[in-house]
Amino acid sequence: MLKVVLAEILKRANNLDASKVGEICIGNVNQPGGGATTARMGQFLAGYPDTTPCYAINRFCSSGLQAVADVANSIRAG
């Protein structure tokens, strides 16, 4: 399911080149290894290069919200 979401992001962003993405942040609840392996597999299957940093947040019910907050804070910080 993550592959589909990550691929759709590129498509909806006017067919953005995946190599232009600076970082991928995934909110993932209670997955083995904190979700890092699942996030990385989704990244590769969706066509993002292995040079794109990817990390997963495991915060149970607020994983997705924390991921959005982290990305927003990173953008705000420059």
Domain with residue 56: its CATH number is 3.40.47.10
Amino acid 32: pLDDT? 75
**Alpha-carbon distance 8 to 32, whole Å?**
25
Give per-residue pLDDT as tens, 15-70: 999 999 999 999 888 877 766 788 899 999 999 999 999 988 888 788 889 999 99
Amino acid 60: pLDDT? 79
Amino acid 5: pLDDT? 95
Distances (CA, A) of 3 to 7, 26, 74, 75, 77: 6, 12, 23, 24, 28
Domains: count for the chain: 1
Residue 54: which domain range? Answer: 2-77
pTM: 0.80
